[in-house]
A and B are shown apart, each in its own frame.
Chain A
């Protein structure tokens, strides 16, 4: 049996002794994946509760309310009597928005005095707030445009002329890459991969760190026949393989469950997944060999891998971030891998575009590996680095 294979076998035999590692590799990511699937099960936000404050209470005002209720994002669940009640419902988050129809709405509309319809919306819940305000704006403006059109038609214009007079210039807008504003694609995916990165990084820290803390690193090296290369390759290879399997289950499962079409190249995604796993592992190894203290390394590792989603640029674009956050996020493997997922899953971008993130991931793995290298041999031999909590 080759030395590398012997280290692999030893690794598999060690596994049952570490319930925490078991949990981290299996139930935790699967549980997290299930929860996130449940969170995003609706995929798009529809029929969010809003209220209506109708000071006019006329036939026309009710018509305007119907324009809004027809918007898919909202559902009128409450009719309130005054602004105090509206405010109370909003701060108790029973509604995300309140539509206010002013007194004399009908009269002003008929006299062409352009009554003002106001939407008060909760922008603390920014996702819901933005979706609702955009959709209600669309609905009211469409309704208003229909009125303008009718006014002009009754003034004797042809349909085309009336349309042009009512709205001389229109925007025909098209959403590319995720046209339905599907949250499972737009947000869910990065969370799944974020969990994946925590698992890939922390499991590495744990399996290497345990060797040092339990002072079994000598035995590990001995199994490798004294070859540090065999020791490290045999140690990490099974986990790289496992990362790929887990990614297939978690990310692949998420993509399949939500029927997210993969527009790009599966080969590139696989290549990227390998580079992503290696980069996360290299960073884990880098931290572990230099700190040589399991608990400290896990703490620092959680600090690096835990908040990575915030720095990845998926939810908040990197061009809007502070310089510090841009630089920090540049070192996070998740940032590059999400770029690859966007390009190869949602966009179907040409491969030359996706070469960059894969190369950067490979570079991250190489860079972190090189920085770790001076200590990777020493931690296997130097007993002074062992036994630290």
Chain B
């Protein structure tokens, strides 16, 4: 136990002693956590520019235009008679949707003939088309229901009966966990978990480089060296978790639905798996900057392999198989369940268990790597092997 404590303090001292490790293990996560959410502070797309092409010029078409303008998601920025010109503004990206109200629109409605409006939405941006169509469908749906109800009322139905007759089945959709469909709430928690992994991996590589340069005494048992490092990184990264999910989340208004105890219990194997993976692969990097270069480009694939954006169910099988190697895959899934979806700890068992399996596998790997390195160093001392 004494050896473990010695290794723990030694690791902390080493981290504090190098600018490199202080920056990577302490400062980087803080900076990223404050910087990364800035695009998403407003959370949702509001007042999306919509061009209305009104060929009807009737009271009803003007009413429809006003309603679209009044909706939260959309805002009528131009009225035009020319569909081509309106579509040009879609091509140019200055409008998100075009609403075409054809000639004789009101007349068709008054004559009880089927009436249509046309909506053209820019689907090159997913949030634009979905926001635009939801706004237009909502407004037109309300208008349509109102017309149908008034007709039935005119033929003697009560308002309630008319409404029920108009909508034989009422459909209600109920968004869970992120009721305002906030984009930040969707993406930031997952990215934070990824940031913790990436900075920790790079930081561990830097730490190992520093240690190899100092040629640490090989007198401590390996289990204590590994354990000491795990303790040190867990301590620092629990601090980061408190900062990210406590301070930054409340600063930017992201929900946090788990108790701190549950979060810590979940994240401890996550940090351990990342630390051990870092130790196992650190020997690939002869210089601290190498890992920065390698990991910067891999952050994007790692994030998308977790399936937060494009669902895992439809990703290629071999990608899902590879994703198992990354702690972030399970860290993100489990943390979202726990902190965003309000799952109980036992409901995150799959992710949590997978992280523990990674801990065991990467512990073995790190142990083998360090033992091999220790041996070759001793042999190197006798002139039997070459050390880099």
Contacts and interface: CB of A to CB of B under 8 A. Distances in A.
B293 A140 contact: no
Contacts of B41: 321-322, 325
Interface in A81-118: 88, 90-93, 96, 109, 112-118
B236 interface: no
A140 B296 contact: no
A136 to B, nearest CB: 7
Contact of B147 (A148, A168, A305): A168
Interface stretch (A267-275, A310-318, A364-372): A310-318
A172 B98 CA distance: 12
Contact of B168 (A35, A109, A195, A325): A109
B80 interface: no
A320 B292 contact: no
Interface of B (DSSP majority class): helix
B156 interface: no
A21 B183 CA distance: 36
B278 to A, nearest CB: 17
A124 B336 contact: yes
Interface string B26-64: 001001100110111110111011000000000000000
Interface stretch (B219-227, B282-290, B376-384): B282-290
A174 B310 contact: no
A73 to B, nearest CB: 10
Nearest to A151: B168
B134 to A, nearest CB: 8
A349 B304 contact: no
Contacts of A319: 45, 48-49
A165 B124 contact: no
B93 A91 contact: no
Contacts of B347: 88, 91-92
Interface residues of A, number: 123
Contact of B93 (A301, A320, A339): A339
A107 to B, nearest CB: 13
Given A168-B109, A172-B116, A126 B143 contact: no
Interface in B276-312: 285, 287-290, 292-294, 296-301, 304-305, 307-311
Contacts of A39: 301, 304-305, 310, 315-316, 319
Nearest to A115: B169
B10 interface: no
A174 B176 contact: no
A117, A173, A179, A342: residue with the most chain B Cβ atoms closer than 10 Å: A173
Of A47, A127, A198, A301, the most chain B CB neighbours within 10 A belong to: A127
Contacts, number: 370
Nearest to A191: B300
B269 to A, nearest CB: 18
Interface of B: 20, 23-24, 28, 31-32, 35-36, 38-42, 44-46, 48-49, 87, 90-93, 96, 108-109, 112-130, 133-134, 136-137, 140, 143-144, 147-148, 151, 161, 163-179, 181, 183, 185-187, 191, 285, 287-290, 292-294, 296-301, 304-305, 307-311, 313-316, 318-319, 322, 333, 336-337, 340-343, 347, 350
4 closest Cβ contacts across the A-B interface? A38-B319, A123-B175, A38-B316, A175-B123
19 contacts: A23-B293, A32-B300, A48-B314, A49-B313, A117-B169, A119-B173, A122-B341, A124-B340, A125-B308, A128-B311, A130-B130, A170-B140, A170-B144, A176-B124, A310-B187, A310-B191, A316-B45, A325-B41, A389-B20
Given A40-B315, A117-B172, 10 more contacts: A32-B301, A90-B341, A119-B173, A123-B176, A144-B171, A166-B148, A187-B126, A306-B299, A322-B39, A325-B41
Interface of A: 20, 23-24, 28-29, 31-32, 35-36, 38-42, 45-49, 64, 88, 90-93, 96, 109, 112-130, 133-134, 136-137, 140-141, 143-144, 147-148, 151, 160-161, 163-179, 181, 183, 185-187, 191, 194-195, 198-199, 202, 206, 294-295, 298-299, 301-303, 305-307, 309-311, 313-317, 319-322, 324-325, 328-329, 339, 342-343, 346-347, 349-350, 353, 389
